[in-house]
Amino acid sequence: MHFGGRALSSLRLEKAYGSFNKDFRPDYTPGETGLDRYVDFGKSDFTGRAAALAERTAGARRRFVVMEVADTDVEVVGFESILKDGAAVGYVTSGAYGHCIGKSLDAGYIPAALVREGARFEIDILGEMRTATVRLQPLYDPESIRLRG
């Protein structure tokens, strides 16, 4: 079946999935992306092992999150600023309108200390400040029942 890249991006954000080369790149650490659960720390030698173990002990400085944008008349494309109390605290890596849930979504990185369900931020979208709320669970099929069915 034919599908478009924007449709795929919409679906992955509804499931809170990141995208390689957008949301996950070599300049993000395993702890920041949440992909550290797939790292085999039992291996005795791999490039970056010491740094990944240090981050695991200390905790990641920032975290990848998906946010629901309050307004549905706009959507982010990436690299927009994420602000908290007027100060830039992070940036958007990708975004799309979630057609299954009827909401505009964005993904990006914010300081780990600010990550909590329902935390509110502002995003500068085309020169207008828009409210965005952190959603720690996927907005579509959060228990992944449809994936297993």
Q: Could you read off the pLDDT of 53-81 as tens digits, one per residue? A: 999 999 999 999 999 999 888 888 889 99
Residue ranges of domains in the chain, CATH in brackets: 5-27+61-145 (2.40.30.110)
Mean pLDDT of the chain: 93
In contact, 107 and 64? CB cutoff 8 Å: yes
Q: Could you read off the pLDDT of 78-121 as tens digits, one per residue? A: 899 999 999 999 999 999 999 999 999 999 999 999 999 999 99
Please compute, for residue 37, the number of CA atoms within 13 A of its CA located in the half-sphere on the CB side. 2
In contact, 95 and 75? CB cutoff 8 Å: yes
pTM reported for the whole predicted model = 0.91
Give phi and psi for 67, each to the nearest 5: -125, 145
What pLDDT was estimated at residue 135?
98
Please give the sequence-ordered ranges of beta strands (E in DSSP) within the chain, or none if there are none: 62-69, 81-84, 87-98, 103-111, 120-125, 128-135
What pLDDT was estimated at residue 5?
84
- How many helical (H) and strand (E) elements, i.e. helices and strands, does the chain have? 4, 6
What pLDDT was estimated at residue 55?
96
